[in-house]
């Protein structure tokens, strides 16, 4: 099937703004643009909205009436899936890879407001979460419902197609503004966003380097996942284009001590974006990508005067939850 024929439901406020940020540009010695996917709407915004447009489209095309997905207790993906379900008139079940957390803050508070059914797995185990989702789907089927399982992070060839479309949107904006982008830099977690962006760059034959800043996984693992998913996303969307492993660029130097744990540089990035441009990053994803941006420009790996696009993928609700609630189950 071709991208234009893939079922899609309008969920996001698109196009998102493409903004030049002069004060950060000057500070970093580059020409810096932001792509504001933190403003996609859908219960406070973020990158999952673009993936969910195709995932919910697929669910509806298959006659499903319930979305099931998984993530950590501060998962933006879970929150936006709950919002997408609400908007499309579907039920939603979320399987959290943690113990129950008594305090509802940040994303978890929004999940409850959005009317999702919350299930706590008790442990941080992705494989068990997958099994629990299948079990839940079976139970719901017996009750006469038609469940659709959305993979972790919405990262499948269907979901990642949202970021091929996003590259098309960006091309229209850069053409109109008469600018060219040499680098795209962004936070990379479950591989879908990077796979989709790279698929878009390849599909439209653009001279743009996509630099994924891992927020959790080691470089070798994430690069392999991005490569496989990029290849599958291209073929699923009907493109003959191929991608090579060398075109997948992942940095894992900015993860620090782990997912959701701030580093000195991620805190510096968060403060710098806020102070110089009034733009709020999130502590788990975009601040780690921001750390990468600062380091790569300061070291000249992204050369002076380069035209760089920082893709803001959202995540702000996590700022409003205590840091230990991000990743560690609470007894
Ligand atoms: C999920 C998420 C990402 C990473 O996207 P992937 O497609 O999982 O790599 C980046 N930023 C934010 C705010 C997210 O919620």
75 is known as an active-site residue? yes
Q: Among the options 25, 75, 214, 223, which is catalytic?
A: 75
Quote the ligand 1 centre to 194 CA distance (angstroms): 9
- Residue 125 sits in the same domain as residue 199: no
* Axis-axis angle for helices 48-61, 157-177 (nearest 10): 130
How does pLDDT run across 118-151, given as a tens digit for each residue?
Answer: 999 999 999 999 999 999 999 999 999 999 999 9
Confidence of residue 324 (pLDDT cuts 50, 70, 90): low
CATH of the domain at 294: 3.40.50.1100
How does pLDDT run across 3-57, given as a tens digit for each residue?
Answer: 999 999 999 999 999 999 999 999 999 999 999 999 999 999 999 999 999 999 9
What is the CB neighbour count within 10 angstroms for residue 122? 14
Tell which atom from ligand 1 comes closest to the C-alpha of 314: 13
Evaluate whether 164 touches 3 at the Cβ level (below 8 Å): yes
- Residue 290 sits in the same domain as residue 192: yes
Evaluate whether 11 touches 52 at the Cβ level (below 8 Å): yes
For residue 11, what pLDDT is reported? 98
Residues near 86 by Cβ (< 8 Å), separated by ≥ 6?
A: 92, 114, 115
Residue with tokens 């943690």: 98
How does pLDDT run across 238-293, given as a tens digit for each residue?
Answer: 999 999 999 999 999 999 999 999 999 999 999 999 999 999 999 999 999 999 99
Nearest to 8 by CA among 92, 75, 88: 88
- Residue 246 sits in the same domain as residue 121: no
> Does some domain include residue 331?
no
- Residue 22 sits in the same domain as residue 102: no
Structural domains of the chain, count: 2
Q: How far is CA 26 from CA 23, 177, 276, in A?
A: 5, 20, 10
CA distance 162 to 249: 20
Q: Final residue of a domain: which of 153, 172, 205?
A: 153
Q: Final residue of a domain: which of 126, 153, 180?
A: 153
Q: Which residues have CB under 6 Å of ligand 1?
A: 46-48, 76-77, 153, 155, 187-194, 282, 285-286, 313-315
Q: Pick from 51, 313, 316, 327 the residue to mutate for probing ligand 1's pocket: most ligand atoms within 8 Å of its CB.
A: 313
Evaluate whether 148 touches 141 at the Cβ level (below 8 Å): no
* Phi-psi category of residue 294: left, alpha or beta, with phi > 0 → left and psi -120 to 50 → alpha: alpha
Give the residue numbers spanning the domain of 119: 48-153
């Amino acid at each position: 099937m071709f991208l234009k024929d893939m079922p899609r439901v309008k969920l996001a406020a698109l196009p998102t703004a493409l903004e030049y940020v002069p004060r950060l540009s000057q500070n970093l010695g580059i020409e810096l643009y932001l792509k504001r996917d933190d403003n996609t709407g859908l219960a406070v915004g973020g990158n999952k909205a673009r993936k969910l447009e195709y995932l919910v489209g697929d669910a509806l095309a298959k006659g499903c009436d319930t979305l099931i997905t998984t993530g950590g207790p501060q998962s933006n993906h879970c929150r936006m899936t709950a919002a997408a379900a609400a908007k499309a008139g579907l039920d939603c079940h979320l399987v959290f890879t943690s113990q129950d957390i008594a305090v509802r803050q940040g994303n978890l508070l929004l999940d409850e407001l959005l009317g999702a059914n919350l299930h706590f797995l008790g442990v941080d185990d992705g494989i068990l979460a997958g099994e629990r989702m299948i079990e839940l789907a079976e139970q719901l089927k017996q009750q006469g419902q038609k469940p659709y399982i959305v993979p972790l992070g919405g990262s499948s060839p269907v979901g990642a197609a949202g970021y091929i479309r996003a590259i098309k949107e960006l091309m229209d904006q850069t053409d109109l503004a008469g600018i060219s982008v040499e680098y795209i830099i962004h936070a990379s977690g479950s591989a879908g966003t990077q796979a989709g962006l790279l698929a878009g760059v390849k599909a439209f034959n653009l001279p743009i380097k996509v630099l994924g800043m891992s927020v959790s996984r080691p470089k070798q693992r994430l690069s392999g996942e991005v490569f496989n998913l990029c290849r599958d996303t291209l073929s699923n969307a009907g493109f003959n284009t191929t991608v090579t492993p060398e075109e997948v660029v992942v940095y894992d130097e900015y993860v620090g001590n782990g997912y959701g744990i701030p580093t000195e540089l991620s805190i510096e990035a968060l403060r710098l974006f806020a102070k110089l441009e009034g733009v709020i990053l999130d502590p788990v994803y975009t601040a780690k990508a921001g750390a990468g941006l600062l380091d790569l420009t300061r070291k000249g790996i992204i050369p002076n005067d380069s035209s760089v696009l920082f893709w803001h993928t959202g995540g702000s609700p996590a700022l409003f939850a205590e840091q230990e609630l991000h990743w560690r189950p609470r007894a």
